[in-house]
């Protein structure tokens, strides 16, 4: 079977009719995921993939996602929202889980949808939602320096999934937390960049100028605190240096456009180095040189979704050949595993591709049939040299 056709079939199999609190047809995390709901980084990435072949459906999912997750009273985005028939559903929050938020990456998908097909009403809805949510991040996750932190870095909250990469070695030492997180600060920069795009297109010049100022100030602060000259890498900022670890989260500096050319020239070779991120079967989420590297969840496994983000970052800096190479290696792993198992998996084995050798937080292997974890269409386009950033 054509593997892209198989991915699209999985999307259809993960699609459900309206069920409270979702007023229309909706796509869950995946038919193999134990939770029937939407939210997190998964729904935006599914929407991004849909935009390649069904723009109306992609836009519908973003609208549904924002209306379902965004809390009116303060702008917090629910970590996830489940349908009434899910075992986790609780009536007091109408299926919404507000114990923490999740990576603010949805604006990238929304922008790509709008670049393909402009819709003023949708753009205005995204802009207003984005500004409301940005205010929540500033009020609740910004420190006195002006940098942003994930709840995962807070003492006793290392098991939080707010960052989307729970149980990463980044959270092994949080006693002095919370500490500023490199990926979140870059995600906020990207968020601001996308809101600036919307403000300009909507003719909101005053709002645009204000956002440009915030973006410029944050970029200066981030440049000052996150670069580790010894490692030649951007790392989470924590005074003891115990969490200065090389993980795929740091490549958000490329996606956001933060890194200077001289920084990129030191970072990119690490992606090809077989002792760092250049694993035989794809980009690991933790560098092989890290003592805590492990074939477990976010401690070293290959996440095709991370390959996607890293590759569009590389494309932003015109490292198109390297993006193509990294995407192709990842796809070879996905294809070989699909041919063996008939499944798309949450994450993969970057060392030898054997799916049976990896675990999910030491308990079991990855979930299966998770379309958001394998942004197949984008990776295919990147692997053939198409610029999609």
Q: Work out the widest C-alpha separation in the chain, in whole angstroms.
A: 56
Q: Report d(CA 225, CA 251) in Å as an integer.
A: 16
For residue 228, the model assigns a pLDDT of: 87
Average pLDDT score, the chain: 96
> Which among 71, 66, 67, 93 has a CA at the least distance from the CA of 82?
93
In angstroms and rounded to an integer, the radius of gyration of the C-alpha atoms of the chain is 20
Half-sphere exposure of 235 (CA within 13 A, CB side): 21
* Phi–psi pair at 386, nearest 5 degrees: -75, 135
Average pLDDT over residues 201-209: 98
* Phi–psi pair at 179, nearest 5 degrees: -125, 150
Average pLDDT over residues 285-292: 97
Q: In this predicted model, what pLDDT tens digit does every residue of 16-51 receive, in sequence order?
A: 999 999 999 999 999 999 999 999 999 999 999 999
Between helix 55-69 and helix 106-116 the angle, nearest 10°, is 150
Contacts of 105 (CB under 8 A, 6+ apart): 41, 44, 45, 187, 190
Q: Report d(CA 103, CA 333) in Å as an integer.
A: 26
Between helix 304-316 and helix 261-272 the angle, nearest 10°, is 140
pLDDT of 175 strictly over 70: yes
For residue 158, the model assigns a pLDDT of: 67
For residue 243, the model assigns a pLDDT of: 78
Average pLDDT over residues 311-330: 98
Q: What are the boundaries of each domain within the chain?
A: 1-118, 260-389
| Model pTM above 0.95 | yes
Q: In this predicted model, what pLDDT tens digit does every residue of 107-151 receive, in sequence order?
A: 999 999 999 999 999 999 999 999 999 999 999 999 999 999 999
Q: How many C-beta atoms surround the C-beta of residue 355 within 10 A?
A: 18
């Amino acid at each position: 079977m054509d593997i892209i056709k198989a991915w699209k079939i999985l999307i259809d199999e993960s699609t459900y009719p309206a069920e409270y609190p979702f007023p229309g047809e909706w796509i869950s995390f995946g038919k193999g995921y134990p939770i029937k709901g939407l939210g997190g980084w998964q729904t935006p990435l599914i929407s991004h993939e849909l935009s390649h072949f069904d723009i109306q459906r992609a836009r519908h999912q973003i609208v549904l996602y924002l209306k379902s997750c965004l809390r009116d009273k303060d702008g917090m985005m629910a970590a996830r929202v489940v349908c009434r028939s899910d075992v986790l559903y609780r009536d007091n929050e109408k299926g919404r889980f507000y114990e923490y938020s999740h990576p603010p990456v949805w604006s990238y998908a929304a922008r790509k949808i709008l670049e393909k097909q402009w819709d003023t009403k949708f753009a205005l809805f995204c802009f207003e939602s984005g500004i409301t949510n940005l205010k929540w991040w500033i009020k609740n996750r910004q420190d006195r320096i002006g940098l942003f932190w994930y709840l995962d870095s807070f003492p006793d909250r290392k098991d939080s999934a707010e960052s989307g990469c729970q149980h990463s070695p980044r959270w092994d030492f949080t006693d002095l937390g919370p500490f500023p997180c490199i990926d979140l600060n870059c995600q906020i920069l990207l968020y601001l960049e996308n809101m600036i795009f919307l403000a300009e297109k909507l003719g909101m010049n005053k709002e645009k100028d204000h956002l440009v100022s915030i973006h410029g100030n944050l970029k200066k602060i981030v440049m000052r605190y996150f670069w580790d000259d010894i490692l030649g890498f951007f790392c989470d900022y924590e005074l003891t240096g115990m969490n200065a670890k090389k993980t795929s989260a740091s490549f958000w500096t490329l996606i956001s456009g933060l890194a200077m050319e001289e920084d990129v020239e030191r970072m990119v070779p690490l992606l090809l180095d077989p002792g760092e991120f250049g694993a035989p079967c794809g980009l690991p989420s933790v560098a092989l040189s890290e003592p805590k590297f492990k074939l477990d969840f976010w401690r070293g496994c290959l996440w095709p979704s991370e390959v996607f983000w890293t590759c569009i970052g590389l494309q932003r800096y015109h490292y198109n050949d390297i993006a193509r190479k990294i995407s192709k290696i990842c796809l070879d792993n996905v294809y070989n595993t699909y041919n063996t198992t008939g499944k798309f998996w949450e994450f993969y084995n970057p060392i030898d591709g054997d799916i049976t050798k990896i675990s999910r937080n030491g308990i079991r292997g990855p979930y299966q049939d998770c379309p958001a974890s394998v942004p197949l269409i984008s990776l295919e386009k990147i692997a053939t040299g198409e610029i999609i950033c």
